[in-house]
């Protein structure tokens, strides 16, 4: 009897080891912030695809990108390393060195069929880093083309990178789609006026378009008979393209929508309040595929946490950072920051407080004044000092220089408006978080831990000066200049539909 049981155990073990590796479908928006999805309680934007994945899988309330900027965020997703560990790829419009692990490439090595549609790792020059095609995968016109070319029974990894809801927006698309300005909840760091509400609706319109396209891809996945064994991830690279959001370490720049579906592996209706970082994607995907995780991967797999199993990983906090976003300061200068986010506090260290956080106030190159903030009606309203006499000084919050340290108590100040770093009653908290941030920087070999004023990220190549990749920058710059001219002659009714 004993030998029969052993034989059965060996058979079961063989069946487990022969389990087919899961497919990975990675759906990523461009500039979408938490909590702008129906399942998060937003009463305006309609996101049935995201809501479906969350209801039938896991919904994350504390998912954070590694950097609130496209290129470094996407590089960290692919490598499982923090931006400061990815050398030049810690900047926007950078060079992505192929010497770092990339989960797409690693899966291809073990037999996965890989590909991408539209925006993968971008913007920047991956060819100068040694890549022959985009680090997110070989280009395909559509998921349909990709799945039709996939060899039978071969696992796949597919990256769908939308350009929504990145600006430039077509004004009034939100209102015309049936959304109501009256229901918009404007974040408190923006003026709550009709034109900002209208701008929010145009942003929502593109979020909805991203959601529809993801839904179409999932329908094709199901029609191809691949839904049962596919990990589906739906998220964004960084926060919404509004003042004090994208390119900032505040929540609307770094806190991301995230839903993950994996049938029979993630219990439907799972709600995650633990912290996860985007550096955790790479090790999670590799582990799911049965691939060994290299030591130089900084992130940690989140599967045990998602499935309620014991884990030694501290998920009570997360670290975020930024270096140079756009080239918006004389001398190509960065605005370097590091931060630690817990459920109670956000602590930010600004290494160059003498610089303007949103870029130089004088016009620089083609993107205009304060170029780290995407040009928009919302931006120009604040630039024109709208609300200057109101309790909240939006211009100061968005454009003026900041202290070397920032501390926010999140329960009392969810929009991070009141810096408590100089308040005596928070001195102990400030000291603790300062130490934790410094320890993390030292442990992860952050150059700024030993050389706070290093010029490394100020001097690495800014690729738009030499060539363009992945999308037509000149067309977007033309639209930006048009918006700036409109903004300088702003009429408060210009963006309102009668």
**Average pLDDT per block of 10 residues along the chain, 498 residues long:** 38 50 98 98 98 98 98 98 98 96 97 98 96 97 98 97 96 95 96 94 98 98 97 98 98 98 97 98 98 95 94 95 94 96 98 97 74 94 73 93 98 98 98 98 98 96 61 36 39 47
Q: Environment class of residue 447 by beta-carbon count within 10 Å: exposed (0-12), middle (13-18) or buried (19+)?
A: middle
Question: What does the DSSP 8-state code read for residue 22?
Answer: P
Cα–Cα–Cα angle for 398, 402, 407, rounded to 5 degrees: 100
Strands (E), 287-326: 317-322
Helix axes 48-55, 194-223, angle to 10 degrees: 60
pLDDT for the residue numbered 492: 35
Helix axes 70-79, 281-288, angle to 10 degrees: 30
Instruction: Give dist(CA 408, CA 420) in Å, integer.
Output: 6
pLDDT for the residue numbered 3: 39
Instruction: Give dist(CA 280, CA 123) in Å, integer.
Output: 22
Mapped to the 3 state alphabet, what secondary structure does 104-158 carry? HHHHHHCCCEEEEEECCCCCEECCCCCCCCCCCCCECCCHHHHHHHCCCCCCEEE
The rounded radius of gyration (Å) of the Cα atoms in the chain is: 23
Instruction: Give dist(CA 45, CA 29) in Å, integer.
Output: 15
Residues ≥6 apart with Cβ < 8 Å to 205: 165, 169, 173, 174, 177, 179
Sign of the torsion angle spanned by Cα atoms 411, 344, 243, 246: negative
pLDDT for the residue numbered 9: 35
Q: Outline where 302-376 has alpha helix (H).
A: 303-306
Q: Environment class of residue 310 by beta-carbon count within 10 Å: exposed (0-12), middle (13-18) or buried (19+)?
A: exposed
Count Cα atoms within 13 angstroms, Cβ side, for 54: 21
Cis peptide before 165 (omega within 30 of 0): yes
Cis peptide before 489 (omega within 30 of 0): no
pLDDT for the residue numbered 19: 81
User: Are 76 and 322 a contacting pair, CB within 8 Å?
Assistant: no
Residues ≥6 apart with Cβ < 8 Å to 204: 36, 44, 45, 165, 174, 179
Q: How far is CA 302 from CA 255, 281, 340, in A?
A: 17, 8, 19
User: Are 123 and 88 a contacting pair, CB within 8 Å?
Assistant: no
Residue closest to 32 by CA, chosen among 175, 214, 193: 214
Sign of the torsion angle spanned by Cα atoms 61, 65, 70, 75: negative
Q: How far is CA 92 from CA 69, 157, 304, 311, 372, in A?
A: 6, 25, 33, 34, 11
pLDDT for the residue numbered 490: 39
Cα–Cα–Cα angle for 220, 75, 106, rounded to 5 degrees: 65
Residue closest to 37 by CA, chosen among 142, 165, 221, 162: 165
Which phi and psi angles does 339 have, rounded to 5°? -150, 155
pLDDT for the residue numbered 386: 61
Q: Outline where 166-307 has alpha helix (H).
A: 173-176, 194-223, 251-254, 281-288, 303-306
């Amino acid at each position: 009897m004993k030998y029969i049981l052993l034989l059965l155990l060996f058979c079961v073990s063989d069946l487990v080891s022969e389990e087919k590796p899961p497919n990975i479908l990675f759906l990523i928006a461009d500039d979408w912030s938490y909590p702008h999805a129906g399942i998060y309680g937003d009463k305006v934007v309609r996101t049935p695809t995201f809501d479906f994945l969350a209801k039938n899988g896991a919904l994350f309330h504390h998912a954070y990108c590694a950097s609130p900027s496209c290129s470094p965020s996407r590089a960290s997703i692919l490598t499982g390393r923090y931006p400061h560990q990815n050398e030049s790829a810690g900047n926007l419009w950078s060079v992505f060195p192929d010497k770092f692990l990339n989960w797409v490439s690693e899966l291809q090595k073990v037999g996965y069929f890989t590909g991408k549609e539209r925006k993968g790792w971008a913007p920047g020059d991956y060819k100068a880093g040694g890549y022959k095609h985009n680090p997110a995968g070989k280009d395909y016109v559509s998921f349909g083309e990709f799945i039709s070319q996939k060899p039978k029974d071969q696992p796949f990894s597919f990256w769908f990178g939308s350009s929504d809801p990145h600006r430039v927006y077509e004004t009034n698309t939100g209102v015309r789609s049936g959304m109501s300005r009256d229901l918009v909840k404007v974040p408190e760091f923006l003026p709550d006026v009709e034109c900002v509400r209208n701008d929010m609706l145009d942003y929502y319109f593109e979020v909805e378009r991203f959601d529809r396209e993801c839904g179409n891809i999932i329908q094709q996945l199901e029609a191809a008979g691949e839904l049962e064994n596919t990990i589906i991830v739906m998220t964004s690279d960084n926060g919404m393209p509004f003042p004090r959001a994208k390119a900032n370490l505040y929540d609307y720049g770094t806190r991301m929508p995230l839903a993950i579906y994996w049938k029979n592996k993630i219990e439907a209706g799972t709600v995650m309040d633990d912290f996860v970082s985007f550096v955790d994607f790479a090790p999670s995907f590799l582990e799911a595929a049965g691939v060994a995780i290299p030591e130089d991967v900084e992130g940690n797999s989140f599967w045990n946490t998602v499935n309620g199993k014991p884990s030694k990983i501290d998920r009570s906090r997360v670290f975020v950072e930024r270096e140079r976003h756009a080239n918006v300061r004389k001398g190509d200068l960065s605005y370097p920051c590091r931060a630690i986010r817990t459920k109670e506090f956000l602590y930010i260290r600004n290494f160059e407080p003498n610089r303007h956080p949103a870029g130089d106030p004088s016009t620089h190159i083609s993107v205009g004044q304060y170029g780290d903030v995407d040009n928009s009606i919302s931006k120009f309203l604040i630039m024109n000092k709208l609300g200057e006499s109101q309790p909240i000084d939006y211009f100061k919050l968005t454009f003026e220089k900041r202290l070397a340290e920032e501390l926010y108590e999140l329960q009392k100040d969810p929009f991070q408006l009141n810096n408590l770093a100089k308040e005596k009653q928070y001195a102990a908290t400030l000291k603790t978080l300062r130490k934790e941030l410094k320890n993390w920087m030292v442990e992860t070999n952050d150059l700024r831990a030993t050389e706070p004023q290093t010029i490394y990220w100020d001097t690495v190549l800014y690729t738009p000066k030499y060539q363009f990749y992945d999308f037509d920058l000149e067309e977007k710059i033309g639209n930006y200049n048009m918006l700036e001219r409109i903004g300088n002659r702003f009429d408060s009714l210009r963006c309102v539909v009668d």
